[in-house]
Amino acid sequence: MWSSLLHGVFLLLFASRAALGEGRLMSCLTEDRLVKRVERLLAHSGGIATAERIAEGAADERSCPEFTRRHHSTEIRERSLSPWSVSEKPSGLDMFPETYTEAKCLCSGCIINGTESNDYNSAPVMRSMMFLKKVLCEIQSDSKPKYSLQIEYKTVQVGCTCVVPSTQ
């Protein structure tokens, strides 16, 4: 999804004859036009389908022992030796997308032969993700406020993996 979003942003950049001054992606637009453009971008990049997938996993509050019996699931996060749950988080004020999915490791150890083993550790898998921030352009007294988009990156936990314990 995020590679599609990144691709869409660059298409948006060229399609709108973007001005790259001060790290902004496009010329200044009224808020309603900016929101419509972002919604169109997210719809083309798979953002809407991802939001539906988030809702399915958002209520997941199971614990590690419950995942020791989930080896027949189709979900990778449930079949992993280091299972994780997902929850929906707010991105922040004036950010697009407005929410994102964050993972949480459910075990401190790893699931080995159907039981949790502390001979190994569950470790978070982190990823830098791109968000778009709505930024106010210089206000001209004779018009509505206008905005542009600015790229911001946030490090997000996207899964968990099983690792050999650190020897430090």
Question: pLDDT higher for 42 or 148?
Answer: 148
CATH value of 2-163 in 3.30.460.80, 1.20.140.10, 2.10.90.10, 3.30.1120.10: 2.10.90.10
Both tokens of 49, joined, read 């389908």
Give residues with Cβ within 8 angstroms of 66, minimum separation 6: none
pLDDT at 64: 82
For 7, 45, 106, the CA distances from 11, given in Å and listed in that order, are 6, 11, 38
Q: Label residue 78 by pLDDT band (50, 70, 90).
A: confident
Return d(Cα 57, Cα 78) in angstroms, integer.
Answer: 11
pTM over 0.75: no
Averaged over 16-37, what is the pLDDT?
69
- Spatial separation of the C-alpha atoms in residues 52 and 50, rounded to whole Å: 5
Average pLDDT score, the chain = 77
SS3 content of the chain, % helix, strand, coil (to 5): 30, 35, 35
Instruction: Look at residue 58 and tell me whether its pLDDT is greater than 60.
Output: no
Radius of gyration of the chain (CA): 20
Asked if the model's pLDDT at residue 8 lies above 60, the reply is no
pLDDT at 57 over 70: no
Of the candidates 146, 131, 129, 142, the residue with the CA atom closest to the CA atom of residue 19: 146
* pLDDT for 68: 59
Domain spans of the chain, in order of start: 2-163
